[in-house]
Amino acid sequence: MRLFSSERGVHPPDGKHFTANKKIETIMPKVGQLLYFPTSQHAGTPTEPIVAVGDYVKVGQKICDSDAKITSPVFSSVSGVVKAIKPVLLPAGNLSNAVIIENDGKFEKSEEIGKPYDYTKMTKEEIVDVIKKMGIVGLGGAGFPTYAKINPPADKKIDYYIVNGAECEPYLTTDDRMMIEHSDSLIRGILIFQKMYPDAKALIGIEDNKPTAIEVMRKAAEGYDKIEVVPVKTMYPQGGDKQLLRTLTGRTFPITNPPSRTPDTGCIVNNVVTIMAIDKALNEGEPFLKRVITVTGDAVKNPGNYEVCLGTTYQDLIDAIGGFKAEPKKFIAGGPMMGFSMYTLDVATIKTSSGLICLTEAECENPKESNCIRCGKCTEHCPLNLAPYALNQYALRGDAESFVANNGMFCIECGTCSYTCPSKRQLTQSISAMKRTESAKRKRR
Amino acid sequence: MENKNLITVSCTPHMRSKITVNKIMLDVIISLVPAAIMGIYFFGFGAIKVILLSVISAVFFEYVFQKATKRDVTINDLSAVVTGLLLAYNLPSTAPFWMPIVGSFVAIILAKQLFGGIGQNFINPALAGRAFLLASYPAEMTNWVAPGWGVDAVTTPTPLAALKQGVDLVSASGNVISATPGKEDIINALTGNIGGCIGETCAIALLIGGLYLIYKKVINIKMPLIYIVTVFILTGILGRETGRFPLYEILTGGVMLGAFFMITDYTTSPMTPKGQIIFALGCGIITSLIRIYGSYPEGVSYSILIMNLFVPIIDRYTKPVIIGEARK
């Protein structure tokens, strides 16, 4: 067994044992339940609703679209009548316009879906077009539209396809379960990619705390000499695209201005669930309608991995699986390291929702900040070898020039520095805030 | 408006490691215990008195200053206890009762709190206290006694004083402190059966404490190792008039205390991995130069204080390079 490791990172308690052995259960929305489809479920330009209040929509019908360069259409996961179009909360806490549909319980399928494509007879451009049309975005959490990611300029030679099954976020077991239960779909998705890039070798990177997934994927990859399963050392943030790329290929992501993209290193990185969605889009002709969400945390009665129709609110999901066993004090959409803290569960699940963690008061840590003792742990563990203590200082005193000069804009906001800080300083918080301010300034220019 | 059902909202990450400043300081205190036991074993009641006075006054000054300036009282982080202990370890057991108190005042108020408290001081507080006392009260600070619980303390020269002067020195009770140390002298230095400050004489106890800190990942072995090896090599090459005794040099005069507990101080050492190498190397070079060419016999504390002043500039020129930048 090859055990790769990147030398930086931390080892938070992983908490995956609560849900790692729970089979994926499908939760179907009830008759009369309202489903919310925000127009902005991805990184890029928000879409516009193409249906009106009162319209009847079917499962798989496109309800939002846009002509922008980087965007991704939204589909209805139920059939029913459009009740309203109004702004709703997103997990990240911002507002987005949304199409609200009342489920009629019939799940009447749109004529547009269910027509498989024969990708073996299609060109690369045609495949990319289908992926775009089917609304597939990066499902690991970033939500960058997949068609843009897998279609770099023609002069970039792609020799590795990095299949990201690391799932380094503690508590989440979505990718793990998907690999165990749908390994064949993952392999089919990789084959589609290899049709587009025949020279690319697929490396499936899985953290070694998921031995079952490694075993299952190894078996599934048998007989394909261009697909290899590579166990990687369990370490946060091993599953960051650039981190995994470096671990698997030894290639370093160049820091340039303007920022380079992963294809510059000859690699394309996709999350395992994204690749399964590509398989579904081409081989079954189905757009992205459902996804698996890990619901866990010490407040949840029945932690597990649940497949939901996108648009279901977290509240409806929690109600459907038996609610809480203790009073929840904190809701996290995503993982505990990078997920968003929400003040309500009346938030719709969107394409990038990978987890819901509900914590009781005992698990809510809110430590007080004290003086930096200059121990250097933040810079020792930073996956990018930045100096978070210095960036934090620049951010706090609003010194944008020094912040940029010291590569603050390249921070991936993984949270490793805040995690490891003995003085419990909110390093990630101030650095992220400074990044936002600075990018907003640049946009205005 | 009190609503007990409010949901907590916070920025990422939602998990924090269990390491706290308090736990780190507790580990440092634990690691200093063996040296305290040996110091008390060899120097008796005087050592207990100095250690207690130093620790209590350090905590007291921190508390009073923070109360007086209406700041959060941070004595619970235990850093004042560490400073008090380290100051005591750098004093002779014969020190009059007011000396540890004056030293703690300089360490806690002048060196630490006036610059903003924990993490903000630019020189090691304990060493600042020691340097102040050594400059102000040289006689009291060098009143060494031979190890022993006797009622009448026997004054004795320190091993490095003998090396420095190049002649064998004789203690008040007639023991010879050799200028050309042999096997027996090295064993005495290892166990701490020599004259010197309370906490610096027993090399083995300090090594045990240092290894504990390394095991607990409070410190990295890099800095102590570089420092000790530098002193070993430089004193070995340059030598004294009477000969070369590199092993004896690193076991005496506080090299072990400095290596594991002083140069590794988070606040007053560089934060960057490369900077730490430069810092430890610099301390080693200055220690060796002071010992061989300077007028002080030991030089550990001054070398560290001097290098403390270079920390900001070292940090500045050894900024970590972001991964990927080299390819630009």
The residue among A240, A260, A284 that closes a domain is: A284
Instruction: Flag if B322 and A426 touch (Cβ within 8 Å).
Output: no
Q: What is the pLDDT of residue B193?
A: 86
Q: What is the pLDDT of residue B230?
A: 96
Q: What is the pLDDT of residue A189?
A: 95
Minimal Cβ distance to B15: which of A329, A336, A422 = A336
Partners of A339 on chain B (C-beta within 8 Å) are 12, 14
| ipTM reported for the complex, 2 dp | 0.87
With respect to residue A401, please indicate whether it lies within any of the assigned structural domains: yes
pLDDT of residue A299 exceeding 90, the answer is: yes
Instruction: Flag if A370 and B13 touch (Cβ within 8 Å).
Output: no
CA distances from B312 to A302, B181, B224, B266, B279 (A): 53, 39, 20, 13, 11
The residue among A263, A284, A305 that closes a domain is: A284
> Is B145 in a helix, a strand, or coil?
strand
With respect to residue A10, please indicate whether it lies within any of the assigned structural domains: no
pLDDT-derived band at A2 (thresholds 50, 70, 90) equals very low
With respect to residue A279, please indicate whether it lies within any of the assigned structural domains: yes
The residue among A246, A268, A284 that closes a domain is: A284
- Per-residue tokens: B197: 């400050």
Is the same domain home to A165 and A267? yes
Q: What is the pLDDT of residue A6?
A: 43
Is the same domain home to A255 and A124? yes
Tens of pLDDT, residue by residue over B61-117, are 999 999 999 999 999 999 999 999 999 999 999 999 999 999 999 999 999 999 999
Is the same domain home to A273 and A385? no
Is the same domain home to A386 and A275? no
Q: What is the pLDDT of residue B103?
A: 97
Q: Cα separation of A103 and B68, whole Å?
A: 66
Q: What is the pLDDT of residue B328?
A: 39
pLDDT-derived band at A322 (thresholds 50, 70, 90) equals very high
**Rounded (to 5) percent helix, strand, coil in chain B:** 60, 0, 40
Q: What is the pLDDT of residue B327?
A: 42
- What's the CATH number where A198 sits? 3.40.50.11540
Q: What are phi and psi of A291, to 5 degrees?
A: -150, 165
pTM of the model: 0.89
With respect to residue A371, please indicate whether it lies within any of the assigned structural domains: no
Q: What is the pLDDT of residue B178?
A: 79
How does pLDDT run along chain B (328 residues), one tens digit per residue? Answer: 455 678 888 888 999 999 999 999 999 999 999 999 999 998 888 999 999 999 999 999 999 999 999 999 999 999 999 999 999 999 999 999 999 999 999 999 999 999 999 999 999 999 999 999 999 999 888 888 877 665 556 777 788 888 888 778 877 777 777 778 888 888 888 988 888 899 998 999 999 999 999 999 999 999 999 999 999 999 999 888 788 889 999 998 899 999 999 999 999 999 988 899 999 999 999 999 999 898 888 889 999 999 999 999 999 898 888 887 654 3
Give the strand pairing for A201-207 and A290-296.
unpaired
Is the same domain home to A392 and A255? no
Is the same domain home to A259 and A385? no
Tens of pLDDT, residue by residue over A414-443, are 999 999 999 999 999 999 999 999 999 888
Domain extent for A193: 115-284
Is the same domain home to A150 and A274? yes
Is the same domain home to A268 and A397? no
| Average pLDDT of the segment spanning A367-387 | 90
pLDDT of residue A5 exceeding 50, the answer is: no
Is the same domain home to A162 and A269? yes
Partners of A377 on chain B (C-beta within 8 Å) are 19
With respect to residue A438, please indicate whether it lies within any of the assigned structural domains: yes
Instruction: Flag if A13 and B20 touch (Cβ within 8 Å).
Output: no
Partners of A423 on chain B (C-beta within 8 Å) are 21, 119
Q: What is the pLDDT of residue B25?
A: 96
Mean pLDDT of chain A: 91
Give the strand pairing for A340-342 and B176-177.
unpaired
With respect to residue A334, please indicate whether it lies within any of the assigned structural domains: no
Chain B residues whose C-beta is within 8 A of a chain A C-beta are 5, 7-17, 19-21, 23-24, 74, 77, 79, 116-120, 266-267, 269-273, 276, 319-328
Is the same domain home to A251 and A121? yes
With respect to residue A402, please indicate whether it lies within any of the assigned structural domains: yes
With respect to residue A436, please indicate whether it lies within any of the assigned structural domains: yes
Is the same domain home to A253 and A387? no
Number of domains chain A is built from: 2
Partners of B119 on chain A (C-beta within 8 Å) are 371-374, 423
